[in-house]
Every structure is written in C-alpha cells, then in structure tokens.
Amino acid sequence: MTSQPSLPADDFDIYHVLAECTDYYDTLPVKEADGNQPHFQGVTGLWNLGNTCCVNAISQCLCSILPLVEYFLTGKYITALQKFLLPSDCSEVATAFAYLMTDMWLGDSDCVSPEIFWSALGNLYPAFTKKMQQDAQEFLICVLNELHEALKKYHYSRRRSYEKGSTQRCCRKWITTETSIITQLFEEQLNYSIVCLKCEKCTYKNEVFTVFSLPIPSKYECSLRDCLQCFFQQDALTWNNEIHCSFCETKQETAVRASISKAPKIIIFHLKRFDIQGTTKRKLRTDIHYPLTNLDLTPYICSIFRKYPKYNLCAVVNHFGDLDGGHYTAFCKNSVTQA
C-alpha cells in the first residue's frame, strides 16, 4: 500500500484480508521480462478500453486476493461449472474471469486487455459496455453475484427448530444452502435485534451480503472505526419508521441494533460518499483514516460468536472526481513484492 496523496482520499471500496489467511501469501517465481526488468507475477497492467477504469480497478483488487486467484488458476472452477447445466452467459463470465487472472499472473506481458471479461459481463449488464463512467461498487457486486451463480453448489443439512405451543416440540428440518468460493471468502452475516419499545419483546433478523456499506459520520475527517461505530450504534425507529410488532400486532416504536454473527475471511467495505440533501446530490470528500494491519472487529461481534477476527489491508479502490465524472485507480498489496 503506497502513501495517500495530499488530496482528500476518495476511497470507495476497502478490502481487508483476515490475518489468519497469510498462508496464502507465499511468494511466487519471478519472470525476467525484456529489458532486464523483472516481471512479477500478479503485477500486470490493464488496458483502458474507454472509461473502463472502473473495471480495471476492481479487477486489480480481485487479482490481489490469493485464495480467489488460486481457485481459478488451479482449475477448480472448471469442476464447479461442469456440475450443472448453466446459462451460457453465466458460465462465460466465470471462464473469462479465469482467463483474465491467468493473464495477469502467468502471462509475460506488462499490460493485458480485459476486453473478454468486460464483454462477457456486458452481455448480462449492458450498461457496463457503454462508454460512460460506471460505479465501482455496482460493478463489483455484479461480478461477485455472477461468479457465485456460476460456481455455486447445494448443501443439504438438518437443523433443529422449535414449534410454538404450550409444550415446545423439537423437530428436524432439511435446510438447503448455496455455497461457492464467493460465499466462502466474502459472505458476511449481520444479526439485527429488534426490541418493541411498548411490549419490550425482542425479535431477530439476519441479513447476508458480500459488500458492507458504511456511513461517513463526519464531513471533514474520521476513521474507519468511526464509520463502524456509526453503523453499529443502536437506532430508534419512530413515527413513519415504526416497525410492525408481531406481539402487539400493530406498528410500534422500536430499538434496533446490529451485530456480526458471521465474519468473512475477506471483508469488503464500501464507504458511502454520496450525500443527498433535498434535490441536491454531492460527493463527500471526507478524509478517512484506516489501519494497514490488525483491524479488530471484536466490539461488533455477536456475543455467541467465538472467533474474534483481525484484518489486514489488502487493496483499495480510489475515485478522483465528482458525481459526473472522474477516474478510478487501485492500490493493491502484492504477495511477491510485499508492496
């Protein structure tokens, strides 16, 4: 990770890699390129095909995640694709992504074209093929969703559940879940405790996602921890935001608090830099400070969760400009150069 410029940091997506996963970061062989300059694997530029800096920045960050790269370079994705009869567009995205990772890690070129991958995703999302600025977070979510759909497999498990009644009866039900390399690496689960302020009964709701969007609490300067504390603080929902209480059988004022019930191996933060005031939209240029190592999420972990994860910074997507235009770049830590 290089030092930040003196201008306000325009960080959109921050990737943190679980410190326990450092076994994946073994150095790989270095190839000698023309001109006696060493060509490090995984350090390969991407051609800009015309406002494709969003595609390139996200691809560079995904290229720096060794567990994901290893899955594609070793051909494990092929086995997953062959298990089901998938729509051609769905499998083409996964195959094109594998080709791109192969070019960036095993190729001899200093710069390669992402056109095949870009075109495959554009068949499903035509907006990304237009020569206009696109949103990096939206592109990332589309990539992760399509890779998951192409590579997912089904697991059947039996879980205990309890039926309401004068005497609780325990029964076993079959639960079907979908897993893939995407869910194994990036999936996070939040648990929301919702307390009715009238009857004081509590209900729970779970939410699963791969990109964690964080609010920015300050206009001028704050830390990533400030963003996390803002997200996880208890909120009171009143007036038009009241929630239906199943015990009172009507809408009531409630208190809602979130906690992490499943921490991912790799956590993706999206900083919400778009602010809407009435009919005016603007970009927040707040300086946000974050640690390079040992980001501790223990304060936000559900009490029954036994693991207390700490994360190291792996990559950052930057955006320079405003809502109408600009340029995306990426800072990534490479396993070979350690820079």
Could you confirm whether 319 is annotated as catalytic? Answer: no
Catalytic residue among 16, 53, 314, 332: 53
SS3 call for 91: helix
Query: What's the rounded Cα separation, in Å, for the pair 205 and 261?
Result: 11
Could you confirm whether 244 is annotated as catalytic? Answer: no
- pLDDT at position 132 is 77
Cβ(206)–Cβ(188) below 8 Å: no
Give the list of residues 6+ apart from residue 81 with CB closer than 8 angstroms, or none. 91, 94, 95, 150, 151
What is the total residue count of the chain? 339
- pLDDT at position 86 is 59
Q: In degrees to the nearest 10, what's the CA dihedral of 139, 141, 143, 144?
A: 160
Mean pLDDT by 10 residues, the chain (339 residues): 33 40 42 56 89 94 94 93 69 95 90 95 89 88 95 66 38 62 95 95 94 91 95 94 94 96 94 86 91 93 78 94 88 77
Quick one: 124 exposed, middle or buried, by C-beta within 10 A (0-12, 13-18, 19+)? middle
Q: Which pair of structure tokens corresponds to residue 250?
A: 């009507």
SS3 call for 77: helix
- pLDDT at position 158 is 52
pTM of the prediction? 0.81
CA atoms within 13 Å, Cβ hemisphere of 235 = 13
Mode of pairing for the β-strands spanning 188-196 and 254-262: antiparallel
Cβ(228)–Cβ(300) below 8 Å: yes
Dihedral (CA of 83, 89, 95, 101) sign: negative
User: Residue 320 corresponds to which amino acid?
Assistant: F
- pLDDT at position 1 is 27
- pLDDT at position 190 is 95
Q: How many CB atoms lie within 10 A of CB 192?
A: 15
Query: What's the rounded Cα separation, in Å, for the pair 200 and 180?
Result: 39
- pLDDT at position 51 is 87
- pLDDT at position 322 is 86
Query: What's the rounded Cα separation, in Å, for the pair 26 and 196?
Result: 51
Q: In degrees to the nearest 10, what's the CA dihedral of 45, 48, 54, 55?
A: -70
Cβ(72)–Cβ(98) below 8 Å: yes
Query: What's the rounded Cα separation, in Å, for the pair 250 and 201?
Result: 13
Q: How far is CA 214 from the centre of its chain?
A: 12
User: Residue 63 corresponds to which amino acid?
Assistant: C
Nearest in space to 15 (alpha carbons), one of 71, 72, 68, 74 = 68
Catalytic residue among 39, 230, 302, 327: 327
- pLDDT at position 104 is 94
Domains of the chain by residue range: 11-152+209-230+266-332
**How many angstroms separate the Cα of 327 from the Cα of each of 34, 62, 155, 183, 216?**
30, 18, 42, 30, 21
Give the list of residues 6+ apart from residue 339 with CB closer than 8 angstroms, or none. 2, 333
Cβ(315)–Cβ(330) below 8 Å: yes
Supply the Cα-derived Rg of the chain in whole angstroms.
22
Q: Which pair of structure tokens corresponds to residue 240?
A: 């038009």
Q: Which CATH superfamily is domain 11-152+209-230+266-332 in?
A: Cysteine proteinases (3.90.70.10)
Query: What's the rounded Cα separation, in Å, for the pair 191 and 187?
Result: 14
